[in-house]
A and B are shown apart, each in its own frame.
Chain A
Amino acid sequence: MTETLIQPKPLTAKDFSSDQEIRWCQGCGDYSILAQVQKVMPTLGIPKENIVIVSGIGCSSRFPYYMNVYGMHSIHGRASAIASGLKASRPELSVWVVSGDGDSLSIGGNHTIHLLRRNFDINLLLFNNQIYGLTKGQYSPTSEFNKVTKSTPYGSLDHPFNPAALALGAEASFVCRTMDRDPKHLQQTIFRAAKHKGTSFVEIYQNCNIFNDGAFEIYTEKSSKADECLFLEQGKPLIYGAQNNKGIRLNGLKPEVVNLDSHVSAEDLWIHDEMDFYKAQILTRFFDQPNSEHSNLPRPFGVFYEHQRPTYEELLVQQVNQVISKKGTGDLDKLLRGSEVWSIE
């Protein structure tokens, strides 16, 4: 019976689409992310029954219902913890966490940082829309300072998180940023994240057209995108601008924007190196608020940092094997008996 259920043909995006009606608002950035994940998954060479998506609570967390793989829509903030237990006990599965800025950086912030430091081979897709959507429009931990929302009619007082810097500070082995409105970049970035062995932290700028429309407009609209976005490419100089005429140069530890002209050439610029932890730290600090007085540095997109280190589940398997080779497979009778026994005749 099961045999007939197995897909004999190569999988396509359609195979990853479930029969459930999608209930996101029309125009929500989540649609684009869903489409790109469905496109990437068939290219990974992973049988679809081995893929699991765990989510928390929030608009983004409805994601698993729309994917025809194994999935769990869990409770607020806890997807990473659930995924950790699943991955530790079933290392062969491809485990994904889909979450939002409230879910992963507010109520579930603790689990996020611990997931990253442990380095389970899990892909964390963090849909950042800088707002609480499902609860209808309160500010989130990534909302800009002084944001006027339903819960902050006089402006929010919280200083926002810088998610990429937080991830790197939590010892993430893979940190990247992409956006819903650039499907090609989104698709490439998700693919890179899926291929990384270790926790992949993927921040996705996602527009909430109902409660925070245009939050990322400056990075996504044609008129401003080229001058505000810096697309990172391994081994390439940091060049951006509508005419590809601007670059980033390091002056000591301080990044500065330079115009490419007869005095400054591409060779003088910062060459992107994903393996360089120090440079990655500076890159994550390219976090100027657009349109603010001090706005200067462009916002980077792409892979900030990638580093190979053992995953938690690899270390666990190794340790278990070592214990077994030293002690042998557990003998229940020996265990129950303990070290000292006496007999009552």
Chain B
Amino acid sequence: MINQEKLKDVVIKFAGDSGDGMQLTGAQFTNSTALLGIDLATFPDFPAEIRAPQGTIPGVSGYQLHFSSDAVYTPGDQIDVLVAMNAAALKVNLKGLKKGGIIFANSDGFDTKNLRLSNYAENPLENDSLTNYILYKIDVTTHTREALKDFTDLGIKERDRAKNMFVLGLIYWMYNRTLDNTIAFLQSKFSKKEQILQSNITVLKAGYNFGETTELFTSRYTIDKAIMPKGLYRNIMGNQALALGLVAAAQKSKTKLFLGSYPITPASDILHELSKYENFNINTFQAEDEIAAICSAIGASYGGSIGVTTSSGPGIALKSEAIGLAVMLEIPLVIVDIQRGGPSTGLPTKTEQSDLLQVYYGRNGECPLPVLSCATPADCFEMAFEAIRISTQHMVPVILLSDGYIANGAEPWKFPIASELPDIKIQHKNKLDEGEESFLPYKRNENLVRSWCVPGTPGFEHRIGGLEKQDNTGNVSYDSENHQKMVLLRQAKVDKIEDFIPLQTIDTGTDSGKVLVIGWGSTYGSIKSSVLELLQQNYSISFTHLKYLRPFPKNLGDILKKFDTIIIPEINNGQLIRIIRDKYLVNAIGYHKIMGTPIYKDELVGFFKKYLV
């Protein structure tokens, strides 16, 4: 007899060889979870190598999903359920598994060869090393081959490739899901490959039926819908949301968007996404290198389009000189930096927040520009929209920071209706204003913003460039007084943007007290969860999350004054903390983790407590 149990909160991780299809399996389970209205957050974790040698530790690819009937802010610290397709996957992920957690192990992935490649002296499924866990050994490969014994046209390799579907089917059974969504997905993915389609569906069903008929399991689980604000939701990944934010802002400004980009992990998906939307007045251009990518975007902005370039830390380093040009030209440009572990090539597929100082200061000369940062996958939409708004309204290149954790993570998104999004007003200058005698390219309005006058406008022919500009005329000037004036003007223009961004608010907790935690970027979920937990224990702790990093919201200084201690957790060796200390002269305390992984809730709870007693 099978029990039906109701759970509140589950963290499941699908792990296997990078050729085992774990990302697809995880994404499918995520979609089916989302469609039931259960709150969730995901964290794909894959190696930099496309196919590291099969069966080895570096080849392990994982997909973690946290789902709950309560609000979910992180993909979860510890795993409740681990699906391990081979010995290496178990070895890599066992330390993240809760004591008493469930392991689904593909026992076919624990043969002599797999054990040797993953450095197991003996088979962990057969000795008593896993007695602290609930272990289910399933011959997934054998079952898959059995299910496909009539698919004689398919080779053994092609048949074995469907084994992730067996696992997915089984997990669907375990969590009382239907197969409909995945079958629909397979039908569209393999619409031209009938054999592959049928074999996948057959194995998916075999996995489900295995759950039904085997006597291994005593329970099936359900999770209630989460309580979320009313409305229509979809599931969305960070890079996807970022791309949609760019599209939406371009549409709301009735202006062409031009993306110049060079592929780089983990930013390439934005290029992939935008290149699909040519019918939205979008041009995408895969340039020959990072420099050409940003330069083509500058050329497009000069021509009146919204120029965008997307990259990661190493690419941003290459673009620095061109960013300086855009600052000098005072034209709109959005530079997206999906941060990853550095320096140099670093950890391409792992997350880090270590480009903040680069984007803040990493250019020659006095070269200020606005810096924005996304907090969660869905938040990328709003911040991308903001980046375009600020860039076009203030004639300044804007850097938008995200990172690998946000970029590839997913969460439910209450998507907006187009008509409810604000319009962005763009007017290319094509006539002289009242009282204006001649066109001065560097004349500024009350917000210190010059006009955007584009080629093709008769009578307004003018030249701009990277040499220092004479105030108002924009002519080349080496005059010393003028240079100081222009440096200060460019700074003041960026500072002035503080009047056009939202005031900083306290995200969690009260607006004064003992400890204030300041976060930015992808640490949002972990910090929020940890602060919520401490608030439940009646500690005096609050949390504010910065999304506008330059300029800061103008009330930030006042907020800081109302707390005894400021703590700034970052996935770097201390970057925001330097800027905050410098600007507000507060003795902030840093928490730095630089391991290529997110900061976990539990470690923060422990750290914050030290300052709460």
Whether A75 touches B322, Cβ cut-off 8 Å, given contacts A81-B299, A341-B233, is yes
Closest Cβ–Cβ distance, residue B333 to chain A (whole Å): 11
User: B465 to A72, Cβ gap below 8 A?
Assistant: yes
Binds A, one of B108-116, B278-286, B523-531: B278-286
User: B466 to A74, Cβ gap below 8 A?
Assistant: yes
CB-nearest residue of chain A relative to B430?
A2
Cα A71 to Cα B299 in complex, Å, equals 11
Check A154 for interface membership: any CB of B closer than 8 A: no
CB pairs A–B below 8 angstroms (17 shown): A5-B458, A5-B460, A6-B459, A49-B456, A64-B463, A65-B463, A71-B462, A71-B463, A73-B463, A84-B287, A88-B299, A89-B303, A89-B304, A330-B247, A330-B281, A332-B248, A341-B233
Q: Which of B230, B236, B430 is the one whose CB lies under 8 Å from A344?
A: B230
CB-nearest residue of chain B relative to A86?
B299
The 4 residue pairs across chains A and B that have the minimum distance between CB atoms: A5-B459, A73-B465, A85-B296, A85-B299
Check B584 for interface membership: any CB of A closer than 8 A: no
User: A85 to B297, Cβ gap below 8 A?
Assistant: yes
Cα A100 to Cα B233 in complex, Å, equals 55
User: B463 to A86, Cβ gap below 8 A?
Assistant: no
User: A327 to B279, Cβ gap below 8 A?
Assistant: yes
Tell me the residues in window 367-389 of chain B with beta carbons closer than 8 Å to chain A beta carbons.
none
User: A89 to B292, Cβ gap below 8 A?
Assistant: no
User: B285 to A85, Cβ gap below 8 A?
Assistant: yes
Check B464 for interface membership: any CB of A closer than 8 A: yes
Tell me the residues in window 444-493 of chain B with beta carbons closer than 8 Å to chain A beta carbons.
454-467, 475-476
Q: Interface digits, A92-134 against B, CB 8 Å rule (1 contact, 0 not)?
A: 1100000000000000001100100000000000000000000
Whether A49 touches B295, Cβ cut-off 8 Å, given contacts A85-B300, A88-B285, A341-B233, is no
Whether A89 touches B256, Cβ cut-off 8 Å, given contacts A81-B287, A333-B417, A343-B232, is yes
Binds B, one of A188-196, A297-305, A316-324: A316-324
Residues on B with C-beta less than 8 A from A65 are 463, 465, 476
Beyond known contacts A18-B463, A75-B322, A324-B279: 10 more, CB 8 A cutoff: A73-B466, A81-B299, A82-B296, A82-B298, A90-B456, A114-B287, A323-B279, A324-B278, A344-B228, A344-B233
Q: Report the count of interface residues on A (CB-CB < 8 A).
A: 61
Check B548 for interface membership: any CB of A closer than 8 A: no
Cα A328 to Cα B281 in complex, Å, equals 12
User: A93 to B455, Cβ gap below 8 A?
Assistant: yes
Chain B contacts to A: CB under 8 angstroms: 31, 34-37, 181, 225, 228-236, 244, 247-248, 251, 256, 258, 260, 277-281, 283, 285, 287-289, 291-292, 295-300, 302-305, 307, 321-322, 324-325, 329, 414-418, 430-432, 454-467, 475-476
Closest Cβ–Cβ distance, residue A7 to chain B (whole Å): 8
User: A342 to B297, Cβ gap below 8 A?
Assistant: no
Residues on B with C-beta less than 8 A from A330 are 247, 251, 277, 279-281
User: A85 to B37, Cβ gap below 8 A?
Assistant: no
CB-nearest residue of chain B relative to A320?
B278
Q: Which of A18, A54, A87, A90 has the most CB of B within 10 A?
A: A90
Residues on A with C-beta less than 8 A from B277 are 330, 335
User: B299 to A49, Cβ gap below 8 A?
Assistant: no
Residues on B with C-beta less than 8 A from A47 are 458
Whether A2 touches B247, Cβ cut-off 8 Å, given contacts A49-B458, A340-B181, A341-B233, is no
Chain A contacts to B: CB under 8 angstroms: 1-2, 5-6, 18, 20, 47-52, 54, 64-65, 67-75, 78, 81-90, 92-93, 110-111, 114, 316, 319-320, 323-324, 327-330, 332-333, 335-338, 340-345
User: A6 to B458, Cβ gap below 8 A?
Assistant: yes
Closest Cβ–Cβ distance, residue A118 to chain B (whole Å): 9
Cα A47 to Cα B415 in complex, Å, equals 46
User: A86 to B302, Cβ gap below 8 A?
Assistant: yes
Closest Cβ–Cβ distance, residue B396 to chain A (whole Å): 17
Closest Cβ–Cβ distance, residue A310 to chain B (whole Å): 16
Residues on A with C-beta less than 8 A from B457 are 49
CB-nearest residue of chain B relative to A68?
B461
Residues on A with C-beta less than 8 A from B37 are 342-344
Residues on B with C-beta less than 8 A from A6 are 458-459
Residues on A with C-beta less than 8 A from B225 are 344
Cα A160 to Cα B50 in complex, Å, equals 40
User: A81 to B292, Cβ gap below 8 A?
Assistant: yes
Residues on A with C-beta less than 8 A from B251 are 330, 332
Residues on A with C-beta less than 8 A from B258 are 85, 88-89
Residues on B with C-beta less than 8 A from A67 are 463
User: A85 to B467, Cβ gap below 8 A?
Assistant: no
User: A114 to B292, Cβ gap below 8 A?
Assistant: yes
Cα A342 to Cα B465 in complex, Å, equals 51
User: A336 to B416, Cβ gap below 8 A?
Assistant: yes
Residues on B with C-beta less than 8 A from A344 are 37, 225, 228-233, 414
User: A343 to B304, Cβ gap below 8 A?
Assistant: no
User: A54 to B299, Cβ gap below 8 A?
Assistant: yes
Q: Which of A48, A86, A336, A338 is the one whose CB lies under 8 Å from B248?
A: A336
Whether A72 touches B464, Cβ cut-off 8 Å, given contacts A1-B432, A85-B296, A93-B303, is yes
